[in-house]
Structure 1
Amino acid sequence: MKVFSKAQIYEGDKLTSERQNISSTDLMERAGTQIFNWMHTRMQGAQVPIHVFCGIGNNGGDGLVLARHLITHGYNVITYVVNCGNSRSKDFLENYDRIKSVTKEWPQLLKCESDFPEIHKDDIIVDAIFGIGLNKPVDGWIKDMFHHFKASQAFTLAVDIPSGLYTDKAVEDANGVVRANYTLSFQSPKLVFFLPETAEYTIQWEVLDIGIDREYLMTTETEVELISKHEILPLYKPRAKFDHKGIFGHGLIVGGSYGKIGAVHLATKSVLSVGSGVATAYIPKCGYTALQASLPEAMVITDANEEHLTAIDFKIKPTAIGVGVGLGTEVNTIKAFEAFLKINKAPLVIDADALNIISKKKTLLKLLPEHSILTPHVKELEGLIGKWSDDFEKLKKTKAFSSKYKIIIVIKGANTITVYGNKLYVNTTGNPGMATAGSGDVLTGIITGLICQGYSEIEASLFGVYLHGRSADLALEEYGYQSLLASNIIDYIAEAYIDLFKQPEQPEVEVEGED
Structure 2
Amino acid sequence: MKIFTSAQVHELDKYTIENEPIKSVDLMERAAKALTQAIADSWGYTTPVIIFAGPGNNGGDALAVARMLIDKNYDVTAYLFNISGHLSEDCMINKKRLIEKRSKALIEVTQEFEPPQLEEGMLVVDGLFGSGINKPLAGGFSSLVKYINASPAQVVSIDVPSGLMTEDNTYNVRANIIRADMTLTLQLPKLSFLFPENQIFIGKLKVLDIRLSKQGMEKIDANYTLLEENDVRPRLLKRDPFAHKGKMGNALIIAGSYGMAGASVLATKACLRVGVGKVTTHTPKRNCNILQVSVPEAIIQFDREETTFSEAVDTEDFNALGIGPGLGTSEQTAIAIIAQLRRSQCPTVVDADAINILASHRAWLQQLPKGIIMTPHPKEFDRLEGHSGDSFERLMKARDLAERLQAYIVLKGHHTSLCLPDGHIIFNSTGNAGMATAGSGDVLTGIITGLLARGYNQENACVVGMYLHGLAGDIAARELGEESVIASDLIQNLPYAFKRLNE
TM-score normalised by the chain length of structure 1: 0.93
Aligned in 2, Cα 1:478/1:112: closer, same or farther, shift over 3 Å?
A: farther
Distance 1:351 1:84 in 2: 54
Distance 1:361 1:194 in 2: 31
Distance 1:354 1:72 in 2: 62
> Equivalent residue of 1:108, what SS?
strand
Deviates more, 1:307-316 or 1:247-256: 307-316
* Aligned residue number for residue 510 of structure 1: none
8 Å CA contact retained: 2:314, 2:344: no
Q: Is 1:38 equivalent to 2:38 in the alignment?
A: yes
Alignment of 1:182-201 (within 5 A): 182-201=182-201
Task: Count residues with an aligned counterpart.
Answer: 501
> Equivalent residue of 1:370, what SS?
coil
Deviates more, 1:180-189 or 1:383-392: 383-392
* Aligned residue number for residue 413 of structure 2: 413
Distance 1:74 1:368 in 2: 65
* Aligned residue number for residue 29 of structure 2: 29
Alignment of 1:409-488 (within 5 A): 409-421=409-421, 422-488=423-489
Alignment of 1:108-123 (within 5 A): 108-110=107-109, 115-123=114-122
8 Å CA contact retained: 2:261, 2:291: yes
Deviates more, 1:382-391 or 1:296-305: 382-391
Distance 2:321 2:364 in 1: 17
Alignment of 1:490-505 (within 5 A): 490-500=491-501
Deviates more, 1:48-57 or 1:239-248: 239-248
Deviation at 1:199, TM superposition (A): 2.7
Distance 1:159 1:315 in 2: 55
Deviates more, 1:22-31 or 1:458-467: 22-31
Distance 2:449 2:477 in 1: 24
8 Å CA contact retained: 2:83, 2:111: no
Alignment of 1:253-402 (within 5 A): 253-314=253-314, 317-402=317-402
* Aligned residue number for residue 505 of structure 1: none
* Aligned residue number for residue 508 of structure 1: none
Give the partner amino acid of 1:336.
A
8 Å CA contact retained: 1:110, 1:116: no
Aligned in 2, Cα 1:153/1:417: closer, same or farther, shift over 3 Å?
A: farther
Give the partner amino acid of 1:36.
T
* Aligned residue number for residue 150 of structure 1: 149
> Equivalent residue of 1:198, what SS?
helix
Deviates more, 1:174-183 or 1:133-142: 133-142
Deviation at 1:216, TM superposition (A): 1.2
* Aligned residue number for residue 93 of structure 1: 92
Deviation at 1:461, TM superposition (A): 0.9
Give the partner amino acid of 1:160.
D
Alignment of 1:26-105 (within 5 A): 26-42=26-42, 46-105=45-104
8 Å CA contact retained: 2:315, 2:346: no
Q: Identity of paired residues, percent? A: 38
Deviation at 1:431, TM superposition (A): 1.6
8 Å CA contact retained: 1:349, 1:444: yes
Write the deviation string for residues 8-46 of structure 1: whole angstroms up to 9, x where unpaired. Answer: 111111222222233222221221122123234555x63
Deviates more, 1:345-354 or 1:393-402: 393-402
Which consecutive unaligned segments of at least 5 residues does structure 2 have?
Answer: none
Aligned in 2, Cα 1:199/1:42: closer, same or farther, shift over 3 Å?
A: closer
Which consecutive unaligned segments of at least 5 residues does structure 1 have?
Answer: 503-515
* Aligned residue number for residue 511 of structure 1: none
Distance 1:114 1:133 in 2: 24
TM-score normalised by the chain length of structure 2: 0.95
Distance 1:344 1:214 in 2: 45
> Equivalent residue of 2:279, what SS?
strand
Distance 2:294 2:502 in 1: 32
C-alpha RMSD of matched pairs (Å): 1.9
Distance 1:312 1:15 in 2: 56
Write the deviation string for residues 256-289 of structure 1: whole angstroms up to 9, x where unpaired. Answer: 2111111001000000012211111001111111
> Equivalent residue of 2:425, what SS?
strand
